[in-house]
Amino acid sequence: MSLTLQRIPAFSSSLFCRCSSKFLDRLCSRMISKKMRVSDALACKETGSDVRIQGWVRSVRPQKDNLFLHLNDGSSLQPLQVVASSQLNTRDLTFGCAVDITGTLEKSPNKRQNVELQAQSIKVVGECNPMDFPFKIKERHPLEYIRQFPHLRCRTNAFSSMLRIRSEATAAIQSFFRDHGYVQIHTPVITSNDCEGAGELFQVEPTGDKKDSDDPHFFSVPAYLTVSGQLHLEVMAGAFSAVYTFGPTFRAENSQSRRHLAEFYMVEAEIAFTESLDDLMKVMEDLFKAATEHVFSNCTEDVELFHKHVAPGHREQVDPMLNRKFNVISYTEAIDILKSSSQNFTFSPEWGRDLQTEHEKFLVKHCGNTPVFVVNYPYELKPFYARDNQDHPRHTAAAVDLLVPGVGELCGGSLREERLQLLTQRLSQAGLEDTYAWYLQLREFGSVPHGGFGMGFERYLQCILGLNNIKDAIPFARFSHSCQL
């Protein structure tokens, strides 16, 4: 760290008597200049103002008289061009270093940017040895490469764009629900529900030395990381009518797939007084479209990076999703479509069996490569809470999945069985009547028809950005054999 304007005398107690008036001007300018973010500078209409901008150097281009820098502070993908006298150049002014620059915002002669910063002083705040830094100047590193540096990858263009989009998409989803009168509920991460013994659960206990010898469990019962906030949201839907949660959920799946994480984010909504899957599908479709339109218009540059460089041509796949109504087919129709296709599936499609990834892909393609809702699944395939359609001979439950191009299952939802007698029966058959006594009570006291759904947030980002691997859609990826940082 050093003051880079070489001619500035060393800072000392007798500073003010020793230094030139030019230096004093500069010192004052740094002290009184308005701190500004790069994004604000780029949007600045009025030039001529003295500003102070801090950030990291993304490129250094020394010329005979002038020095050109690109300065990024994370507020936007586009850097701010900085122009300085060559005299301000120093050895430690390198790609990746942190700088504190004061100067004047001026209209740029270059039409790629409105303004540029004419620097009066450049201070290198933190050096960066370009030999050791894993990212190289002006190189577009593949996502697989930057994934190896979980503590540094946010300093690349692609990953910082993704994280800005993720932040904005989060805000969009929260606005969507708030504007529609939903109450946000922080459903618990630690839960004693083992969710119908679904397996793939993480269990939670204090580290060794914190264990209480009298009680094998910290919570007196086995406790797990939540796989869904649904049951807790059902509690809340019985008081607020419309609720949602947006938080981490967990699966102990021994998978390294491009679509699975051990810790991922889920948006879940639960709506009381809902009697039809149509109502649920409308919320899912509206949410998808509203969030995506918000992101596309608020993060134009960041989104463009993905649609140009990471997944070229992807925008042409997403736009029709926003402009057309999503398709709806029944599970039974889906099986018929699959059966009558000429494709050789690894798993042969059969009524009563789960749809496999290959089937989902085929159905999405069959429907013109746009999202498709599949409704009314076989009753036996669905968990105890799915509402019995009481149909026959093909007995179905009012459940729905949303399949989207590239990703497969994006959302899953159902109407919930609100009829006390039917629910009691099903839970008894599974031997879960006592475990879910509290859940049955929700049906005893002012029960209402209701339903809800969950949307995988990282898969949503994969879908709209064309991200092949889910590990690139989350700040810190956790999956089997990997929990870095």
Restricting to residues 51-90, which ones interact with a second copy according to CB under 8 A?
54-57, 73-75
Q: List the x/- string, 18-37, binding to a second copy by CB under 8 A.
A: -------------------x
In angstroms, the CA 88 to CA 7 distance is: 10
- Could you tell me the CA-to-CA distances from 282 to 288, 290, 325 in Å, in that order? 10, 12, 10
The position carrying tokens 């109407």 is: 415
Residue range at the interface with a second copy (CB under 8 A); choices 230-238, 332-340, 348-356, 381-389: 230-238
Residue type at position 164 = R
Smallest distance, a second copy to C-beta of residue 449, A:
7
Q: Are 246 and 280 in contact (CB under 8 A)?
A: no
Calpha distance 58→2 (Å, rounded): 19
The residues in 140-159 that bind a second copy, with binding defined as CB under 8 A, are 150-152, 154-155
What mask, x for binding a second copy by CB under 8 A, covers residues 189 to 218?
A: xxxxx-----xxxxxxxxxxxx-x--x--x
Nearer to a second copy, 109 or 181 (CB): 181
Binding-site member from 86, 221, 257, 282 for a second copy (CB under 8 A)? 221
Given the rule CB under 8 A, which of 59-67, 112-120, 225-233, 459-467 is the region that contacts a second copy? 225-233
Type of residue found at 288: F
User: Based on CB atoms, which residue is closest to a second copy, 203 or 343?
Assistant: 203
Q: How far apart are CA 440 and CA 417, in angstroms?
A: 10
Other beta carbons within 10 angstroms of residue 166's beta carbon come to 22
Residue number, 272 or 374, with CB nearest to a second copy: 272
**Binder of a second copy out of 141, 173, 230, 238 (CB under 8 A):** 238
**Contacts of residue 83, Cβ cutoff 8 Å, sequence gap at least 6:** 66, 67, 68, 116, 117, 118, 119
The Cα 172–Cα 287 span in angstroms is 9
Query: Does position 183 bind a second copy by CB under 8 A?
Result: yes
Residue whose CB is less far from a second copy, 246 or 362:
246
Nearer to a second copy, 263 or 401 (CB): 263
Nearer to a second copy among residue 53 and residue 403 (C-beta): 53
Alpha-carbon dihedral sign for residues 438, 439, 443, 447: positive
- Nearer residue to a second copy within complex by CB, 137 or 322: 137
Q: How far is the CB of 471 from a second copy (least distance, A)?
A: 13
The Cα–Cα gap between 56 and 161 comes to: 16
Q: Any contact of residue 256 with a second copy (CB under 8 A)?
A: no
Q: Which of residues 429-458 bind a second copy (CB under 8 A)?
A: 438-439, 441-449
- Is-contact 386 416, C-beta < 8 A? yes
Q: Is the peptide bond before 134 cis (omega within 30 degrees of 0)?
A: no
DSSP string, 392-427: SSS-EEEEEEEEETTTEEEEEEEEE---HHHHHHHH
Tokens of 305: 């990076």
Choose between 153 and 307: whose C-beta lies nearer to a second copy.
153
What 3-state DSSP class applies to 123?
A: strand
Q: By CB under 8 A, tell whether 460 contacts a second copy.
A: no
| Contact between 472 and a second copy per CB under 8 A | no
In terms of phi and psi (left: phi > 0; alpha: psi -120 to 50; beta: otherwise), the region of 282 is alpha
Dist. CA 371–CA 233, nearest whole Å:
26
Tell me: does residue 291 bind a second copy (CB under 8 A): no
Distance from the Cα of residue 4 to its chain's centroid: 40
How many residues bind a second copy (CB under 8 A)? The answer is 108
Footprint of a second copy on residues 339-398 (CB under 8 A)? none
User: Which of these segments, 60-68, 91-99, 320-328, 349-357, binds a second copy (CB under 8 A)?
Assistant: 91-99
Burial class (CB in 10 A: 0-12, 13-18, 19+), 433: middle
Shortest separation between residue 44's beta carbon and a second copy, angstroms: 15
Query: Which of 85, 174, 255, 425 lies at the binding interface for a second copy (CB under 8 A)?
Result: 174
Among residues 322 and 440, whose Cβ is nearest to a second copy? 440
CB of 350 to a second copy, least distance (A): 28
Min CB(269)–a second copy separation in Å: 13
Q: Which of residues 265-284 bind a second copy (CB under 8 A)?
A: 265, 272-273
